[in-house]
Chain A
Amino acid sequence: MRSRKGSTLLALLALLALAMVAVGCGGDEGDTGDGGDTGDGGGKVIIGAVLGMTGDAAPGDVPASEAMEYAVDEINKAGGIDGKQVELIIKDMKSDPALASTVTQELLDAGAQVIVGPAFPGMGAGAVSTAAKENVTVLSACSTQPEYTVVGGTKAYLVAFGDNVQAAAAAEYALEQGYKTAYTLTSPDLSYTERLPEFFTAAFENGGGKTIGNDTFTIGQQDFAAQVTKIASLDPAPDVVYTGMFPPDTAVFVRQLRAAGVESALYGADGCDQQPLIDQAGKDADGIVFSTHGYPTPGSRFEEFVAGLEEFQGKPPEAPALATTGGDVIDVIKAAVEKAGSTDPAAIGDAVAQLQDVEVVNGTITYAGTNGVPQKTVAIVEIEDGQFVFKDQFIPSFIPEP
């Protein structure tokens, strides 16, 4: 019995190895038909998106991917880029850094001339280094982490603002409110939650303010009593508390903060741009101010885009702000291809680096003179009476080094 099982297993193994080969061969052409060649020619613009459709990056990449599909659809309906139809190939890298190179290579093999990378630099590094071997440029739709531009050994581009930019915008807005003292909350669990307060402090103090204290928290900790107590004991209370916390933590935290009688303003970042924050924090959400990518002011492109996306999907987008970054990246690519006048990857890359004041869903974007973290407007939103209310949109005047 055993020996029969043994030989069955060997046969099974051989069969499966064969299957793998078949899959491996199939993987090249299966999804794009005549995929074709990279390089100058071809009558198509092929955008490859290596995204975390599952895993840690999904909350950012999934909305962005849906928006990208919509944006590409709109472009194609309007005749394409320079008359060329756009093909968008989206592949899931499962938020696994080891898979990023493999999937990127598959996209390159399918003819991608430009790559959209996943939402975090750690998992995007492989994409960047692999694409670099064929001179293909990588942009990340929703990442706000400046290190994305260097992590893969070659220059890659953020399409959202860098965390240094949005923190600086929040600091500038806080200073405008007359705030002089600040207290920050950091978490080492993500570089996002770790560095935002650092950037904020740099910008805040540059503008004459003072950070009087800092505390740490763990993402997902259910109870912030320890942190709240420390803040409540400060006398005088800080004008503003700044953190990179995002819901549900923000909701839990603000409720405990207000219950302890602390009235300091609470400022956050784009992670707060979600309806669940209002749903979970209730009345205590009022007064929270955060920086985000954009806002559907009446008549704005943002509003138009989100409406169109809703119609395209058949349901309202779950994370509109993150979705719009998907629209942004398509706009940037379109602008770059038009500027380069060709679909040659190297040319596209050069073009991106020189883009200036390009109109995107979330305002304007400039890459010229930057290291990959664009100059881009930051929107400031406040929660009033349980509603998101637009406050301002600007490029901060002082941006700390990332």
Chain B
Amino acid sequence: MSGLPEQGETLAGRGAGLVPAAGAARASACAAEERRVQRRELLVAFGGSVGLFVIVAAIALGYATLGGSQRNTAIVLLMNMVLVIGLQIFSGNSGVLSLAHVSFAGIAAYISAILSAPTLVKGTTIPDAPFGLAGVELPAPLAMIVAVVVTTLIAAVIGLAIARLSGISATIVTLALMLVVFAVLTNWKSLTGGAEAFYGIPVTTNVWWGLGAVFVALVVARLFKASRLGLRVQSTREDEVAASSSGVQVVRSRFWSWVLSSAVCAMGGVLIAHFLGAISPSGFYFTLLFLTLAMLVLGGEYGVTGAVVGTVLMTIVSEATRYLGDGPVVFGVDIPPLAGLSQLVQGAIIIVVMIWRPSGLLGDRELDGLLSRRLLRGTRSAGGRVAAASMETAAADAIVTGEAAAGATATGEAVPETPAATATAEAVPETPAGPGAAAAPAADAAPAAAALSVRGASMQFAGLAALDDASLEVHSGQVVGLIGPNGAGKTTLLNVISGLYAPTAGEMTLNGVSLNGLRPYQIARLGIARTFQTTRLFRELTVRQNLEVAASVARGHRPQAARSAAEILSQFGFEEIADTKAGVLPYGVQREVEVARAVALGPGILLLDEPAAGLNDAESMELVSAVRGIRDREGCGVLLIDHDLHFVMALCEYIYVLDAGRIICRGVPEEVQRDPLVVAAYLGTRGGEAPATAPTMPALGEA
């Protein structure tokens, strides 16, 4: 096959002779750096949670000193806050609304109640309790601990199933769970006393217990959100497909946030039991559900501060309207009692918030973020405050400076038509700033022998053959193009390779390892990264966080190829926008970030879906050098789809043409341009000519 580079003889292969140890040293230096960064982030999060706690404690204690009833209100505030934070840990981070957290509070409440109530009382209320529980009496703190542990275990078992669900079906299942738990608590009379109040619970909850629980909840929630696992869960909230294509195990990360969330809610539940002294199943049902949900929604479910603020505000509103509703005398004016004022106002608030600020008052802003932005406003770089207009030029410059240096092609030069021009892209790539950076290009990053091989891929969708016996190969350091008319199946092929679809036939291997049957996250972890036709960024996460999701996967699964998010940021020139939310960036920059995220995975094969879409001629040529630069630095193979044939012919060393699911032509660009079949595929055939049929392609590897 003319034009097809032989294995090892790639551009990046020039560096293959370098000692792999350099790579290992870099990898461990990079990992050390990242650990440092993560530690700092966790510390900041911890500081933020402590700060938040201090504020909450001030409010609670301050209010409690005013009197007995106020002390009660403060305790109730703290207990609700624990529940709301617990809910935030799961729903806020995963984006899956759970209605079951009150059930875990209820289960824990009952376990602790049953274990700690005096045997004398149990002899009246639940004399026939199973497992001899009527005769068990534990000190309250021990009962509480046992309750939280057992509830968490129960939640974990349930979570194994629920973590697999997304969106509305997950929510409905959690609703069903709440109903089931309520039914069990009500009907298992011998254990719980049924619908009537289970009383006799030792009352131990006071402000200090409440504060202690809130402290634990805050720290757990903030640390989780700042951790790598928490980041992955948030990425699944933003875009599940992109997350798994970046190597995130969606189900597993959701599972852990579910377990953590239920543990915190269990903590809230035991506090409630030991505050009320008497509990009934209805106390952990719709009323509590709506209240805690309203609090979270009001404050903003994406952040822990939001959970806290929502709880405090709702409590304040509740108390104020309750006071008014009881018909007090205010400044000598006799206000008539208005029962239900409280509920009315709360409902109105929720409606207003949902319409006016659906992501809650605080969105996902955390306390330390708010403060640091104010304190560091002078010293901090633009962050999120650069106007969109200047952003475009900044980003455009960044692409030019970041990549033009890597590829020697000056911007604006006419693009050579033949692939021979790729030889010019041999300038030494910029070495990334960073500790222990080796002087070499990242040839050691990807194994020089990375080869993606697709043989006979077929994809049937209900009678329509989207792919029909398609085969192709991509080697390290190669830029391969996949072109074809609309509807030919190009994106389908990419989806099959990246694991989003399971092909109905065909074999795919990467370096001999079979990809068949692997899930997207597994394929990503093996080193195949991709971008999407319509950008799938984690919109609510910052650019840095977007990159970090992939980078952390690389560190875990491809340590030789892994680089830190910071390196990638500077490689692409994203430092200015590192802490900007991806969703507010201009479209062009977003596409670059998506490429950067794919690169952050340290891939051996990079799949690009229409990278030149929407770019004009000049921009496409810049993109040619950019892609070459990436190829040179990463040493990866690139497979790209695009409709801009100028762009494809200029960039790619080898091209496959797909039409109606079949590869009808392949070869170096000149060959493809010569082939009348390709013309016919795009333009149709002239009248009178019989449509040519594709000749049987010689199998790949044959001459």
Using a CB–CB distance below 8 Å, which chain A residues touch chain B? 1-3, 6-7, 9-10, 13, 16-17, 19-21, 23-28, 30-31, 33, 53-56, 58, 62, 90-92, 94, 96-99, 101-106, 108-109, 120-122, 125-126, 129-130, 145, 147, 150-153, 188-191, 194-195
Instruction: Sample 17 A-B pairs with CB under 8 A, ordered by A number.
Output: A7-B374, A9-B370, A16-B312, A20-B316, A23-B320, A24-B319, A27-B69, A27-B319, A54-B343, A91-B326, A102-B69, A105-B69, A109-B69, A129-B277, A130-B72, A189-B186, A191-B194
Asked if residues A102 and B187 are in contact (CB atoms below 8 Å), the reply is no
Asked if residues B316 and A2 are in contact (CB atoms below 8 Å), the reply is no
- One digit per residue, 1 when the CB lies within 8 angstroms of any chain A CB and 0 when it does not, for chain B 270-298 equals 00100111111011000100000000000
Neighbouring A residues of B200 by C-beta, 8 Å: 153
Neighbouring B residues of A21 by C-beta, 8 Å: 62-63, 66
Asked if residues B277 and A122 are in contact (CB atoms below 8 Å), the reply is no
Bound-state CA distance A20–B63 (Å) is 8
Asked if residues B362 and A122 are in contact (CB atoms below 8 Å), the reply is no
Bound-state CA distance A194–B195 (Å) is 9
Asked if residues B342 and A94 are in contact (CB atoms below 8 Å), the reply is yes
Bound-state CA distance A129–B201 (Å) is 12
Neighbouring B residues of A10 by C-beta, 8 Å: 370
Neighbouring B residues of A23 by C-beta, 8 Å: 316, 319-320, 323
Asked if residues A147 and B196 are in contact (CB atoms below 8 Å), the reply is yes
| Distance to closest chain A CB from B22 (angstroms) | 43
| Distance to closest chain A CB from B463 (angstroms) | 45
Asked if residues A96 and B195 are in contact (CB atoms below 8 Å), the reply is no
**Contact status of A106 and B316, CB under 8 A, knowing A122-B282, A151-B199, A153-B277:** no
Which residue of chain A has its CB nearest to the CB of B365? A6
Bound-state CA distance A271–B643 (Å) is 75
8 extra A-B contacts, CB within 8 A, seeds A23-B323, A30-B323, A53-B340: A13-B312, A16-B312, A21-B66, A27-B328, A99-B76, A104-B69, A109-B69, A122-B280
Asked if residues B370 and A7 are in contact (CB atoms below 8 Å), the reply is yes
Which residue of chain B has its CB nearest to the CB of A107? B69
**Contact status of A24 and B72, CB under 8 A, knowing A31-B326, A31-B327, A152-B278:** no
Neighbouring A residues of B199 by C-beta, 8 Å: 121, 125, 147, 150-153
Which residue of chain B has its CB nearest to the CB of A195? B196
Neighbouring A residues of B319 by C-beta, 8 Å: 20, 23-24, 27
Neighbouring B residues of A105 by C-beta, 8 Å: 67-69, 72
- Interface residue? B455 (CB, 8 A): no
Which residue of chain A has its CB nearest to the CB of B73? A102
- One digit per residue, 1 when the CB lies within 8 angstroms of any chain A CB and 0 when it does not, for chain B 349-369 equals 000000000000110010001
**Contact status of A9 and B361, CB under 8 A, knowing A31-B328, A189-B186:** yes
Interface of B is mostly: helix
Which residue of chain A has its CB nearest to the CB of B189? A188
9 closest A-B pairs (Cβ-Cβ)? A191-B196, A122-B197, A125-B278, A6-B370, A105-B69, A30-B328, A102-B72, A53-B339, A105-B68
- Interface residue? B143 (CB, 8 A): no
Bound-state CA distance A28–B71 (Å) is 13
| Distance to closest chain A CB from B179 (angstroms) | 12
CB < 8 Å neighbour of B76 from A53, A62, A98, A195: A98
Which residue of chain A has its CB nearest to the CB of B372? A3
Bound-state CA distance A24–B64 (Å) is 9
- Interface residue? B164 (CB, 8 A): no
Asked if residues B339 and A106 are in contact (CB atoms below 8 Å), the reply is no
- Interface residue? B648 (CB, 8 A): no
Neighbouring A residues of B276 by C-beta, 8 Å: 97-98, 125-126
Bound-state CA distance A224–B187 (Å) is 20
- Interface residue? B203 (CB, 8 A): yes
Question: Which parts of B309-343 form the interface with A (CB within 8 Å)?
Answer: 309, 312-313, 315-316, 319-320, 322-323, 325-330, 337, 339-340, 342-343
Neighbouring B residues of A19 by C-beta, 8 Å: 316, 320
CB < 8 Å neighbour of B283 from A20, A121, A122, A147: A122
Asked if residues B370 and A16 are in contact (CB atoms below 8 Å), the reply is no
CB < 8 Å neighbour of A6 from B63, B79, B330, B373: B373
CB < 8 Å neighbour of B278 from A104, A130, A151: A151
Asked if residues B66 and A33 are in contact (CB atoms below 8 Å), the reply is no
Neighbouring A residues of B67 by C-beta, 8 Å: 24, 28, 105, 109
| Distance to closest chain A CB from B456 (angstroms) | 53
Bound-state CA distance A1–B580 (Å) is 13
**Contact status of A3 and B196, CB under 8 A, knowing A26-B323, A97-B276:** no
CB < 8 Å neighbour of B339 from A54, A104, A120, A121: A54
| Distance to closest chain B CB from A58 (angstroms) | 8
Neighbouring A residues of B195 by C-beta, 8 Å: 188-191, 194
Which residue of chain B has its CB nearest to the CB of A102? B72
Bound-state CA distance A21–B283 (Å) is 28
- One digit per residue, 1 when the CB lies within 8 angstroms of any chain A CB and 0 when it does not, for chain B 170-188 equals 0000000000000000110
Asked if residues B194 and A194 are in contact (CB atoms below 8 Å), the reply is yes
- One digit per residue, 1 when the CB lies within 8 angstroms of any chain A CB and 0 when it does not, for chain B 491-526 equals 000000000000000000000000000000000000
Asked if residues B187 and A54 are in contact (CB atoms below 8 Å), the reply is no
Which residue of chain A has its CB nearest to the CB of B76? A98
